Amino acid sequence: MIASTPVGPNRTGETAAVLPPAPGSSAIDKSDRRVRRMFASIARRYDFLNHLLSLNIDRSWRSFTTRVAAPEPGLPVLDCCTGTADLALAYDRACHGRSRIVGADFCREMLVIGREKLRRAGAQGRVSLVEGDAQRLPVPSDTFGVVSVAFGLRNLRDTVRGIDELIRVARPGGKVAVLEFSRPRGRLLGRLYLAFFRQVLPRIGQALAPNEDAAYEYLPRSVLEFPDGQAMLDLLAARGLTALTQYSLTGGIATLYVGTKPVSARSPHPSEPTS
């Protein structure tokens, strides 16, 4: 199920069959307003559909993330674009109460569901959810032992800015983990996946979570035009992460990218003069 490829910064090799547009030049409307409204409109059905459409495999991807980008006892974890807090809760289970977890998202409706889940799990004292934009995180620089984002980076209006923010708030030596959908490269799985993703998923999604933003058409479109594999590794390396490794999950349907913020890199707070 899982294959990993360690890489060094700027290593080139595998090239995506169809090159996606440069990050930040998306042809899809990813304005903050549209993305926030879209997730608000599907928030109540989001978990149900996630688990149904992935046959529950998404849970194993998140728990794999907490094992690979493992929390260090005592150091806080930040989960960006936390949505209904599934990865924040997975980190809470992995920490056994030894680290504080913060989840951040700019969609209040998703956070409302997340808070309800924290309450049910008895995790409110250990996990806090804050409303905030991943492109301007409302948290200090150089703070978190792990900064994660699951299925969120692709939705940002400005991918590069989002990556820079993940790196800014990680402690020097800390880990940045990006879990994202990717395109299976195998011939058969690749074709089946494309057919399911383009033809079946939008119909099921729209039927079970009706919304005016065609959220389940947006999903395949945004995945297919987003950098994955080597292209994503190159992008993360170009922004300054080192010791990058990618883990291909479930035949490449999703990929986990993990990198380290160099010990020598201290980030200025966005309001600090850089001189």
Q: Where along the sequence are the contacts to ligand SAM (CB under 6 A)?
A: 32, 35, 39, 50, 81-83, 86-87, 105-107, 110, 133-135, 150-152, 155-156
Helix (H/G/I), strand (E/B), else coil: 26: coil
Helix (H/G/I), strand (E/B), else coil: 224: helix
Distance CA 23, CA 235 (A): 9
Cβ proximity to ligand SAM, 35 vs 201, nearer residue: 35
Least separation in angstroms between CB 161 and ligand SAM: 9
Cβ proximity to ligand SAM, 134 vs 177, nearer residue: 134
CA angle 206-208-213, nearest 5°? 35
CA dihedral 220, 224, 230, 233 (to 10 degrees): -60
Least separation in angstroms between CB 230 and ligand SAM: 23
Cβ proximity to ligand SAM, 7 vs 144, nearer residue: 144
Angstrom CA distances, 228 to 54, 173, 181, 192, 273, stand at 19, 24, 8, 19, 34
Count Cβ atoms within 10 A of the Cβ of residue 175 and give its class: 0-12 exposed, 13-18 middle, 19 or more buried. buried
Cβ proximity to ligand SAM, 39 vs 247, nearer residue: 39
Q: Which residue in 87, 121, 117 sits closest to 104, CA to CA?
A: 87
**Encoding tokens for residue 196?**
């399911």
Least separation in angstroms between CB 222 and ligand SAM: 9
Distance CA 27, CA 49 (A): 26
Least separation in angstroms between CB 59 and ligand SAM: 10
| Tally of residues, the chain | 275
Least separation in angstroms between CB 13 and ligand SAM: 28
Cβ proximity to ligand SAM, 68 vs 243, nearer residue: 68
Least separation in angstroms between CB 69 and ligand SAM: 14
Residue nearest to ligand SAM (CB): 83
Cβ proximity to ligand SAM, 110 vs 139, nearer residue: 110
